Chain A
Amino acid sequence: MMNLNPVLTIALPLILAFTKIMYRRIANLFLIVGSLINIFVVVFLKEGQYLMGGYRPPFGIILQVDTYALYSLLVLNVLFAALMLLVTKKAENLTSSSLIALAALNGLILTGDLFNLFVFLEIATIAALILVSSIKKYHQAFNYMVAGAIGSTFYLLGLGLLYKQYGTLNMARMHELMAASPSGSAVAVILIFIGLAVEIKLMPFSSWAAGVLKNADEWIGPMIGAIYGGVMMIVVGRLFTDIFVMDAKVRLMLSLLTLITLVGGEAAAFQSRKVREVLLYSGVAQAGLEALLILNGYPAIGFILVLSNMTAKYVMFLLAGYMAEEAGGDDFDRLTGVFRSNPVHGFAFTVAGLSLAGLPLFFGFIVKLNLLYNLMLSHSYWLPALILSASLVEGIYMLRMILGLWRLPEGHRGGLQVRILGSSHRRKYAVYTISMVLSLALILFGLAPDNALSIARRARGADTDGKPLVLITMKGGIGQ
């Protein structure tokens, strides 16, 4: 077996992005080849810690590949490559930005250093800004930029305070020191959480997401709504379970923020009458739920929820973007019956939606069932009650939307005659294949969930000897 260095998943897209300036003609080829090579590299990755520049861990920067990073990378790179295959035409002018976004997202998942994380966060944000500006809503993009800048300022402020107190930037070393003396780090941890809350769209800081995603096309929607949101949540999962040690008060404070998001997001989604708005607010609510689980000690289920939601939202945003483009808008009224003429898309959309809402037979259901079971076992009742009612609301509006899109409009015979992607055959079948494969994957995992759950447990260290790699193979340190 080959043993590839994970830095290649960052370095190769960067090289392609830098050289692309000189070869403008074959930009698309660069993009597709780059994202496919990345999948190949990820498949051959081995777990372990990889040093940069040959300097020992707490001093040099490291990349860490553990089960958590490995599966996150796999999902990220597959979804990214699929998206790039679909939207090559639109991505033509933004090849370099897309490649750099891919490198930064890989870096966010891999890095084992808190300041390096900040650098990748900034690259990812600026890349996202440029991608977002392709939908030509510049003042919304400007709002996103301001929110992102405030977020990263808070992150760096918190990081500075942590450095002042613990004198290190390495994640594993930080965890050791924090576990030894957690006093006084609360302010820094809260600042960092607020900084990341902008990116994962928690409620008081998520107004930018509404502006950007309301107008998202089939490219920006999956990219910002699903891939970016998912990766940022994976980062939060890493930081707030493996690295930071919080006391109960801080945990409660941050949990309140996520609860507000969960309730507010579901309410906003319930009121909305537009497909993309429903999706985006349900995404916000789901982000609240995921962060709630991560903060309150259910990281394994949180992880699996992040990945499944990422896939489901990806499919839905993709199809919603195409529908809005073909029908010239995404009101429910305008799109009534659109799936009658596009049954395959309808099927994929339905599966993803039902899985997102957590209905039986789909992957989301298994996740939520597991979650409720675990919560009941640990004798906490307010959390399951809240999650159940949120799921109920989500199920209602999701079903309402999906049924509306299948139902025959009054006065029409054969349904709305909008063909999603009637123009190009090749792209039509590509959309068919990708959305079908992903939604079938959701069903498949829904029918046989044991594997996924055990992987998630291994990744998040619920079993005794399955601790995340970042904490067990810590080498070096000041004393050694």
Chain B
Amino acid sequence: MKKIFVLGLMLLLVIGIYQLAVYDPLHERTMAFEDRDSQAYLDRSVNGDPGEVVFGKSTNLEDGAANTVAAIVVDYRSFDTLGEVTVLFISSLGVAFLSGGFGKTIRLKHKPGFVLRYGARFVFGIILVFGAYMFLHGHITPGGGFPGGAIIAASALVLSLAGEISGEKMKAFKILEGAAGTLYVLTGIVGLYMAGFFMQNVLPSGIVGHLFSAGIMPLIYLLIGLKVGSELTGILDYFLREEVES
């Protein structure tokens, strides 16, 4: 009875929200795309109009990334991304706190054989390089620090399935995590005291579409990638330890 009632309520909410706020066939209440704030991100014209932006030609834009989504995430709204990294950081802290931290060792239920162990080492390098490619190219192609970090964590998962991850390695990951986070905030503060605004791009932005372009963006994506990778690895590690202990 309760379920039917709730289902009916949800249906009502879906139809209500759709009818009242989303369905808008004549675009009376929808702001046209050209008038939205995001048009300025596409044109790179927040602080002044550079004219038409052309791939491989335009130089010294306020934001030199070819990937507009990356430009928003790491430059125009970089402060949100700092918050995002903090969310991951605190949830990894939370998992650590709830599971009681290090101390327990992983004892896998299966015994990793020869193929698994050496195969894992082989694949590990390839996945790692692919993750690094993801976040170093984040400002030009789809990708960026978060997917890159997740891929790095996947490589670490392969290693730990083969029983190759020890407590010392995890400690190194912890230090990497803290250092990357601190450096991210410090880049922001460097911007504040060198250029006047928190997280301002202090490096020249180069030519759109080149690898060395977009100022501090590749640097920040590198830090985000390392941080996300080590955080997700940490979370996985805690869950693995947890499973064995119970």
Contacts and interface: CB of A to CB of B under 8 A. Distances in A.
A52 B79 contact: yes
Interface in A433-456: none
B142 to A, nearest CB: 21
Contacts of B78: 52-53
B196 interface: yes
A163 to B, nearest CB: 8
A164 B92 CA distance: 34
Contact of B31 (A115, A164, A187): A164
Contacts of B195: 54
B89 to A, nearest CB: 7
Interface residues of A, number: 59
Interface in A153-211: 157, 161, 163-170, 173, 183-184, 186-188, 191
B86 A59 contact: no
A19 B182 contact: yes
Contacts of B30: 164-165
A53 B200 contact: yes
Interface stretch (A73-81, A90-98, A269-277): A90-98
A61 B79 contact: yes
Contact of A186 (B20, B62, B186): B20
Interface in A2-52: 5, 7, 11, 14-15, 17-22, 50-52
A395 B149 CA distance: 56
Most chain B CB neighbours (cut-off 10 Å) among A53, A100, A164: A53
A116 B83 contact: yes
A257 interface: no
Given A115-B80, A478-B35, A52 B199 contact: yes
Contacts of A466: none
A187 B24 CA distance: 14
A144 to B, nearest CB: 13
A339 interface: no
Contact of A21 (B22, B29, B80, B175): B175
B86 A168 contact: no
A130 interface: yes
B94 A129 contact: yes
Main secondary structure of the interface of A (DSSP, over half): helix
Interface stretch (B36-44, B125-133, B237-245): B36-44
A175 to B, nearest CB: 14
Contacts of B87: 119, 122-123, 126
B76 interface: yes
A280 B98 CA distance: 26
B21 A53 contact: no
Given A5-B198, A170-B37, A15 B185 contact: yes
A191 B20 CA distance: 12
A100 B89 contact: yes
Nearest to A116: B80
Contacts of A167: 31, 35-38
Nearest to A19: B182
B29 A184 contact: yes
B79 A168 contact: no
Contact of B94 (A97, A161, A166, A188): A97
Contacts of B17: 157, 161, 187, 191
Contacts of B116: none
Contacts of B177: 18, 21
A186 to B, nearest CB: 7
B84 interface: yes
Interface string B32-67: 000111101100001100000000000000100000
A11, A52, A100, A170, most chain B CB atoms within 10 A: A52
A107 interface: yes
B90 A161 contact: no
A334 B179 CA distance: 50
Interface string A91-135: 001101100100110010000000110011011001101100100
Contacts of B75: 53
B31 A166 contact: yes
A297 interface: no
A480 to B, nearest CB: 11
B207 to A, nearest CB: 21
B184 to A, nearest CB: 8
Nearest to B33: A167
A358 interface: no
A96 B79 contact: no
A170 B200 CA distance: 19
B20 A187 contact: yes
B145 to A, nearest CB: 16
A19 B89 CA distance: 12
Nearest to B78: A53
B138 interface: no
A130 B90 contact: yes
Nearest to A21: B178
A207 to B, nearest CB: 16
Nearest to B17: A187
A320 B68 CA distance: 53
A60 interface: yes
A377 B233 CA distance: 63
Contacts of B174: 21-22
A56 interface: yes
A123 to B, nearest CB: 5
Nearest to B97: A130
A386 B107 CA distance: 64
Interface of A: 5, 7, 11, 14-15, 17-22, 50-56, 58-61, 93-94, 96-97, 100, 103-104, 107, 115-116, 119-120, 122-123, 126-127, 129-130, 133, 157, 161, 163-170, 173, 183-184, 186-188, 191, 478
Across chains A and B, which 10 residue pairs bring their CB atoms closest together, nearest first? A167-B36, A18-B181, A119-B83, A167-B31, A21-B178, A54-B197, A187-B21, A130-B94, A59-B46, A184-B29
Given A11-B198, A53-B76, A59-B46, 7 more contacts: A14-B181, A59-B40, A59-B76, A166-B31, A167-B37, A187-B20, A478-B40
